[in-house]
Amino acid sequence: MENSEEINVEKKRIDGREAHELRPIKVTRHFIKHAQGSVLIEVGDTKVICTAMVEDKVPPFLKGQKKGWITAEYEMIPGSTNTRKSRDRNRGKIDGRTMEIQRLIGRSLRSVIDLSMLGERTIWIDCDVIQADGGTRTAAITGSFLALHDALSDLIEKGKIKAMPITNFVAATSVGIFEGEAIVDLCYEEDSNAEVDMNMVMTETGEIIEIQGTGEERPFKKEELQKMLELGEASIKKIIAFQKGTLQE
């Protein structure tokens, strides 16, 4: 009997991408007329409207401290998924997933802003998912940073703050194990069938803001975690390069 060697051939994914490939990203800036900062971000078939609006007051716990605040709200519109998603207000409360995501968005943005440079102002970040195909929270973070940048630029232009308070760029992506392979930027079909599902938020300088990782179908090994971290970091660097190019246009 002849010896046979197993050849590891990287499989094409559901949408034809390689394991390390991001979906196409498109951003339309100044998408909403009345917001100081706004973008429509499209990551594959996921589409999120991100707005940043300035309010000249802070939460009670910050009054008198001469520093600002950034907070976020997130919601999926009823037609964003295959079956109608009821609005939170109709259920009388925000569901746990929504609360978790909007807190994540707020933390991610506050981590790269010198809040003392804002004065006593709150910047409200609103993320409305108009079409979902996986990665809505990571797209919301990436898009919200751009909306926030434009809102801060508006404050500078109007002389309300002296300089840009952004200390670092931030972006996010998803990674996971699907059919035994580490992949990045999962679409819905991959995400819903992934063995391991993880979201990463990271700065331009490689500092980690948050990692959310779960073994959905099985435990995962340290070697698999390392592979996902490497894929995620390389992908976030590409996304931040895209953000910079967008802001230079």
CA dihedral 198, 201, 204, 207 (to 10 degrees): -90
Phi and psi angles of residue 46, each rounded to the nearest 5 degrees, phi first: -85, 130
Half-sphere exposure of 62 (CA within 13 A, CB side): 17
Which one has a higher pLDDT value, 208 or 90?
208
Amino acid at 141: I
Place of tokens 């108009």: 130
* Residue 3 predicted with pLDDT over 60: no
- What percent of the chain lies above the pLDDT cut of 90? 85
pLDDT of residue 7: 36
Q: What is the pLDDT of residues 27-83, one digit of tens each?
A: 999 999 999 999 999 999 999 999 999 999 999 999 989 899 999 999 999 999 988
Q: Give the strand pairing for 122-131 and 181-184.
A: unpaired
Q: Give the strand pairing for 69-76 and 122-131.
A: parallel
CB 177 within 8 A of CB 134: no
- What percent of the chain lies above the pLDDT cut of 70? 94
44 beta partners: none
Tell me the mean pLDDT in the region 103-110: 98
pLDDT of residue 12: 79
In what helix (H) or strand (E) does residue 57 lie, and over which residues does it extend? Answer: none
Phi and psi angles of residue 155, each rounded to the nearest 5 degrees, phi first: -65, -40
Q: What is the pLDDT of residues 196-219, one digit of tens each?
A: 999 999 999 999 999 999 999 899
Tell me the mean pLDDT in the region 114-139: 97
pLDDT of residue 95: 81
Which one has a higher pLDDT value, 11 or 216?
216
Domains within the chain, CATH numbers bracketed:
25-248 (3.30.230.70)
Range scoring the smallest mean pLDDT among 35-39, 94-98, 150-154, 220-224 = 94-98
pLDDT of residue 9: 43
Q: How many residues does the chain have?
A: 249
pLDDT of residue 227: 96
How sure is the predictor about 1, in pLDDT bands with cuts at 50, 70 and 90?
very low
Averaged pLDDT of the chain: 92
What letters, b where the CB count within 10 A reaches 16 and e where it falls short, cover 124-143? bbbbbbebbbbbbbbbbbbb
State the pTM of this model: 0.92
CA distance 51 to 29: 10
CA distance 141 to 72: 10
Per DSSP (E only), the strands in the chain are: 25-29, 37-43, 46-55, 69-76, 122-131, 170-178, 181-184, 196-203, 208-215
Eight-state DSSP code of residue 34: S
- Closest-CA residue to 108 (of 128, 129, 125): 125
pLDDT of residue 126: 98
Tell me the mean pLDDT in the region 124-139: 97
CA distance 204 to 238: 10
